[in-house]
Amino acid sequence: MSPTDLILETREDDVVTLTFNDPERRNAMTRPMGEAFTARIAALKGDTAMRALVITGGGSAFSAGGDLQMIRDVTQMAHDGKRQEVTDFMRSFYSLFLSIREIPVPTIAAINGHAIGAGFCVALGCDIRYVARGAKLALNFTKLGLHPGMGASWTLPRLAGPSLAAELMYTSRMVSGEDAAAMGMASRALETAEVLPAALETAREVAACSPIAVRSLKRGLSQTEGNSLAGQLDVEAAEQAVCYESQDMLEGIAAAQERRTPNFKGS
């Protein structure tokens, strides 16, 4: 398979879907897949017509996690005394898939099947997650002898809370999609066939809102993690000032007054 075929891109109006496309390997997170993914993300970052992005997995899995051959190779590198090379390799590997966090519009993970290790980490890097009830999810790093990577120790405590996140990571415990939703790691648990349609429907809802306001909100939300309330109020005031200058704001007010659906142009 050509590396460019490892990530499929489809578009429905202003909603884009990226699909991990290595079903025979259950969409294992390989470096070629990561390079194909980050190339797609780089192209989409400047796409002003895009209003929402969905990611999902081809076949029965979202992603089975890190490629075992790559893990073996990196283990050998470490045993050869190349600790700094391993550190640099892993840091660059994370950045390939976590480039999803650089997208300026809302991102939705449609977790259609199992999401393990690094695969689950990519989903955790999205803004919203919908998951198949029967999917198995795990950050199984410690069972491989590894400290969690790809942002797991940063994202999971913010979603599930510090205590539960610690429990799941220390034990490498596997949970169902239904349990993941109950724990706050996903917005909804659905039947497998409903996951992608639900994610696309939410993406369409996002796309119907002002793209200026939505992109502004994404910038604002990205700052809440390190901000005080006073600091976030400053962010909100500054971002609202940007929105007030837009034609979208005038359209939104007019639509509300005229009791009609707004037609936002993103200007």
Q: pLDDT tens digits for 61-101?
A: 999 998 989 999 999 999 999 999 999 999 999 999 999 99
pTM above 0.75, yes or no: yes
**Tokens 């809802």 label which residue?**
205
**Which residues are CB-neighbours of 126 under 8 A, at least 6 positions away?**
55, 100, 107, 108, 109
Please say whether the dihedral angle defined by the alpha carbons of residues 201, 266, 49 and 225, taken in this order, is positive or negative.
negative
Give per-residue pLDDT as tens, 106-153: 999 999 999 999 999 999 999 999 999 999 999 999 999 999 999 999
- For residue range 194-215, what is the model confidence (pLDDT) as tens digits? 999 999 999 999 999 999 999 9
Specify burial of residue 13 (Cβ count, 10 A radius: 0-12, 13-18, 19+). Answer: exposed
Angstrom distances, CA of residue 243 to CA of 75, 205, 214: 50, 19, 10
Secondary structure of residue 47 in the 3-state scheme:
coil
The rounded distance, in Å, linking the Cα atoms of 241 and 262 is 20
Parallel, antiparallel or unpaired: strands 52-57 and 136-138: unpaired
3-207 has which CATH code? 3.90.226.10
**Residue partners of 56: CB distance under 8 A and separation at least 6:** 17, 18, 19, 20, 62, 109, 110, 111, 112, 195, 196, 199
Tell me what pLDDT residue 39 has: 97
How much is the pLDDT for 1? 66
As a whole number, mean pLDDT of residues 8-17 equals: 97
Give pLDDT, residue 3.
Answer: 74
What is the pLDDT of the chain when averaged over all its residues?
A: 96
